[in-house]
A = this chain, B = another copy of it.
Amino acid sequence: MMPDYFERTLLEHARELFPICRSLTGEGTRKTLSYFEAYHPELERLTFASGESVYDWEVPPEWNIHDAYILHLGTGKRYAEFKKSNLHVVGYSEPCDFIIDRDQLLDRIYSLPDHPDWIPYKTSYYSRSWGFCMAHVEKQCLPLGEYHIVINSSLKPGTLEMSHAVISGSSESEIFFSSYVCHPSMANNEISGPVLLAGIMQYVKSTYTSPKYSYRFVLLPETIGSIAYLSRFAEQMKKTMIAGFNLSCVGDERGFSHLQSPYNDTLADKALLSALGSVDGYESYSFLERGSDERQYCSPSVDLPVCGFSRTLFTKFPEYHTSGDDFSVVTEDGLQGSFVVMKDLIDAFETCLYPKARCVCEPQLGKRGLFSSIGDQHEGSVVKARLDILAYCNGKNAIFDIAMLAGQDLKDVVREVKLLMDHGLIADATL
């Protein structure tokens, strides 16, 4: 029997996956994908062989790492131990086993003088290199003398892997969710995204057994992964996708962010902006602030209707790309906050994307028990909100437009649209 993804909290899933050493390729990434596939057998594994051309790019060799450290010969003390933190090694470092002196070593060590306790995160995917990342305080203690550099890694032909699923609805029109699986132990800028994506998938499956829309979910290594994925699926996605969301850094409690599509004019932008209308405050960032796979999905020749969703946007929180990005940043409340926004947005799509009033003129709400009696102020404002929604249900405004035109929370609009559909006062002009 299938395990239910919601039997554990989102934070528990995140904590379970956090320690794994992921990269563009390799065992850690495969293990992470397998974890989600166990909950969602709809997820299909896709593989691309090292050296395969994907548009302008070539799939890199597979990188695996077993151990790494710096051994000070004089004292026998080990530094930058991979086993203590997988951020200690520059991603895609080639194998090393030699002795160098302290000065040569220092050139290969990245640290953060402004955050001396945090280990930075660095990679060198496309030019062969090696290096270590260390807390600045540790770097400053490195004694004089010679060091044995040990990186027990391999760079060999292998595979680039990713998982995707399409849950089919009555309509071929697709809503798309993407997140990335390619960073080692970081919480917000790595594991929060996939953990939320799997939660959204569970929500769709549990709530909408016969959904109106089709849903596409992908988990892939950033950049090369989305490029490879598009090389197989872009043409199909161009035909069917109506809105897509790239999930990144969705686990903190600091705020909410909308990363605009290039012209901030897609259904995805409207959907996210209206869903964010319910939260306490959010930022809407220009596409110039992009940084994740929206870079590929929205590139001119691909041009999919995708925007980005984050709590605090990548690069806007101090712990970004450091060992400080852990569970002091990501919390269950943070993840749940993101989940609710995505849930509200899906509920809106599934309720009625283009509601159309069925009456000519305003309907008589009273005979349906939808009108307040004389003088009840609370009911009066409910009726006002109801009629405001109806006033914009012309079959051309998306439910997201209606929420913004009527100045109401998306989830309140969804509830009202459902009620009005139940009373035969709204039809779905979409399907």
What is the interface of chain A, defined by CB distance below 8 A to chain B? Answer: 55-58, 90, 110, 122-124, 126-127, 129, 131, 223, 226-227, 230-231, 234, 262, 287-288, 290, 295-296, 298-303, 356-357, 359-364, 366-367, 371, 373-375, 387-388, 390-395, 405-407
Contact = CB atoms under 8 A, between A and B. Distances in A.
21 contacts: A55-B359, A56-B361, A56-B362, A58-B364, A90-B374, A122-B374, A124-B374, A126-B366, A126-B367, A131-B374, A223-B362, A227-B361, A287-B391, A288-B406, A288-B407, A295-B387, A296-B361, A299-B359, A299-B391, A300-B390, A302-B361
Contact of A298 (B262, B299, B391): B391
Contacts of A223: 362
In the complex, the count of this chain's copies comes to 3
B392 A362 contact: no
Nearest to A385: B288
Contacts of A290: 391
A302 B129 CA distance: 64
Contacts of A56: 359-364
Nearest to A287: B391
Closest 5 CB pairs of A and B: A300-B394, A301-B360, A56-B363, A296-B361, A227-B361
Given A57-B364, A288-B388, 10 more contacts: A122-B375, A126-B371, A227-B361, A287-B391, A298-B391, A299-B361, A300-B357, A300-B392, A302-B360, A302-B361
Contact of A300 (B230, B303, B391): B391
B374 A299 contact: no
A392 B129 CA distance: 33
A127 B362 contact: no
Nearest to A392: B262
A287 to B, nearest CB: 7
Given A56-B359, A57-B364, A300 B127 contact: no
A234 B360 contact: yes
Contacts of A374: 90, 110, 122-124, 129, 131
Contacts of A373: 127
Contacts of A295: 362, 387, 391
Contacts of A90: 374
A127 B301 CA distance: 61
Contacts of A366: 126-127
Nearest to A90: B374
Contacts of A55: 359-361
